[in-house]
Structure 1
Amino acid sequence: MTQHQETVFVVSAHSADFVWRAGGAIALYHQKGYRVRVLCLSYGERGESAKLWKQGKTLEEIKAKREAEARKAAEILGAEVRFFDVGDYPLHPTKELQDAIVQEFREHRPKFILTHSLEDPYNADHPRVTNFVLECRILAQAEGYPSDHAIIGAPPVFLFEPHQPEQCDFKIQAFLDITPVFELKRQAMECMEAQEHLWEYYTAVAKRRGSQAVRNGGDKSIVYAEAYQRIYPTVGSELV
């Protein structure tokens, strides 16, 4: 990492979430010269690996498979990835995990953070991680929290689109044009062989969001986009 290189964080509950939901943003910001750091809290071994369970794989085999898939996808997108293996279904963050994430934020100082939606009636792991990430951000800002690194400022937090946004009270507040990097996202998605059924689904989502981005004032060259919701307000001297 160069001295002035900014870092983007993506905190993913399961090993494939960052690919489906933020793969375009990861590839785009990598190409812009940012360091992108993905934190995978679990492998999605219990709740998101049905194909592998049906093949008779053991738990450790499934974890190894999901890690290998995620590493390959991250490499394609241009991201660093760190795995924490805290388990899923349910995913319960520990105090040790909390401190590890706070120290990650303190040491690498995120320009902004991407993570899950605040609600998801289909997957309790996702909002649990979102609230956990928001608390870690608060702790990373606290002067009294023990660390070898200085406190962080107030990095924006963006929530990436859940699988069924209409049921998750997800409000689109930003469209990110990922047209220039969509082929990389597609290649990364195809690394996630345990969830092959989602390849076409998230391709269709990206195309639909691209059309909506154009309808909301975006350039007509936009074909693919990702949708995001903000947690904190923008700050500046102009509204646009």
Structure 2
Amino acid sequence: MSDKKTALVISAHSADFVWRCGGAIALHQKKGYDVTIACLSYGERGESAKLWKQGPDMTLEKVKAARRKEAEAAAQALNAHDIQFFDFGDYPLEVDTDGKYKIVDLIRKVQPNFMFSHSKYDPYNTDHMYATQLAIECRMIAQAWGHNPGEKVLGAPQLYLFEPHQTEQMEWKPNVFLDISEVWENKWAAIQAMQGQEHLWHFYENVGENRGNHFRRNSGGQAGGKNCQYAEGFQAVYPRTVEELD
């Protein structure tokens, strides 16, 4: 593994990374990071209604293929060069011990400076909160010196929880806002690549605008705050270690 900075996204389904942290992916790629996107499933059962409605000839494998193609196009729009598909299934997403070790192997290979996943709680989509539980558990295993001794163990990357669909119901409270204005066009292109969920396009455009407003307010607002048109919000799980406060 090189000294280049890296980040890892653990996405329950193959579209989640687009809506929720596509801007962060594009921005950090632009800053020289290598961002790896891990899709635990294609979202073939629960998040592909538009594809299933095409007719009786639609099959699970056809839906998976379509979802993969969309996700790869979205990753390309974000300039992310490493997107991996685990095909663990969805509704429900279930991962056995061997599957967890595959995720641990990826974490150790990437050695991310930080990670992304979903909110801890999501009563509307339990796949989402399960993916985050996996991220937390696999992060822990990757830190264990006794797991595959001799491999480079993981340090302590921050885990950022990206924004769920209905924040008020998810007990998600952002404490980080990231300005993604300079890469918004990349995120918008990635959003439009997700043809199977077109109904979400403008919802997440609106989310980006609203978080841009929150960025402006929290950076000083009309008293010298930074201008920001689009932003993404995140909730940090672990404490930050700093040399000074600002």
Query: Same fold by TM-score, threshold 0.5 exceeded?
Result: yes
Partners of 1:86 and 1:93 within 8 A in 2: yes
TM-score norm. by structure 2 comes to 0.95
Write the mapping of 1:54-69 to structure 2, written as runs, cut at 5 A: 54-56=53-55, 57-69=58-70
Tell me, which stretches of 5 or more residues in structure 2 are unaligned?
none
Partner of 2:22: 23
Shift of 1:147: 5.5
Partner of 1:36: 35
Q: Mean Cα displacement is larger for which, 202-211 or 48-57?
A: 48-57
> Deviation string for 1:83-110 (max 9, x for gaps)?
0001000001121220011111112201
CA–CA distance in 2 between the matches of 1:50 and 1:167? 23
CA–CA distance in 1 between the matches of 2:34 and 2:134? 23
CA–CA distance in 1 between the matches of 2:151 and 2:190? 33
CA–CA distance in 2 between the matches of 1:224 and 1:23? 12
Partner of 1:177: 179
CA–CA distance in 1 between the matches of 2:21 and 2:119? 12
Q: Mean Cα displacement is larger for which, 31-40 or 209-218?
A: 209-218
The answer to whether the aligner puts 1:98 opposite 2:100 as a matched pair is yes
1:110 is paired with a residue whose SS is coil
Shift of 1:76: 1.1
CA–CA distance in 1 between the matches of 2:53 and 2:211? 33
Shift of 1:220: 3.6
Partners of 1:103 and 1:147 within 8 A in 2: no
CA–CA distance in 1 between the matches of 2:151 and 2:32? 24
Shift of 1:149: 2.2
CA–CA distance in 1 between the matches of 2:238 and 2:74? 29
The answer to whether the aligner puts 1:116 opposite 2:118 as a matched pair is yes
Partner of 2:47: 48
Partners of 1:107 and 1:149 within 8 A in 2: no
Tell me: CA distance 1:148–1:66, structure 2 relative to 1, closer, same or farther (3 Å): farther
CA–CA distance in 2 between the matches of 1:148 and 1:7? 22
Partner of 2:3: 4
Partner of 1:224: 230
1:190 is paired with a residue whose SS is helix
The answer to whether the aligner puts 1:192 opposite 2:187 as a matched pair is no
Tell me: CA distance 1:148–1:40, structure 2 relative to 1, closer, same or farther (3 Å): farther
Tell me: CA distance 1:144–1:113, structure 2 relative to 1, closer, same or farther (3 Å): same
CA–CA distance in 2 between the matches of 1:16 and 1:52? 14
Structure 1 residue ranges (4+ consecutive) displaced by more than 6 angstroms after TM superposition: none
Partner of 2:164: 162
Tell me, which stretches of 5 or more residues in structure 1 are unaligned?
none
CA–CA distance in 2 between the matches of 1:238 and 1:165? 31
Shift of 1:18: 0.2
Shift of 1:4: 2.2
CA–CA distance in 1 between the matches of 2:136 and 2:149? 18
CA–CA distance in 2 between the matches of 1:216 and 1:205? 16
> Deviation string for 1:135-184 (max 9, x for gaps)?
00000000101165211111111000000011001111000000000010
Question: Of 141, 144, 155, which aligns to 1:142?
Answer: 144
Partners of 1:36 and 1:78 within 8 A in 2: no
The answer to whether the aligner puts 1:133 opposite 2:135 as a matched pair is yes
Amino acid of the structure 2 residue aligned with 1:225: A
Aligned residues with identical type, % of pairs: 51
* Aligned-residue RMSD, C-alpha: 1.1
Q: Mean Cα displacement is larger for which, 214-223 or 194-203?
A: 214-223
CA–CA distance in 1 between the matches of 2:114 and 2:49? 33
Tell me: CA distance 1:72–1:148, structure 2 relative to 1, closer, same or farther (3 Å): farther
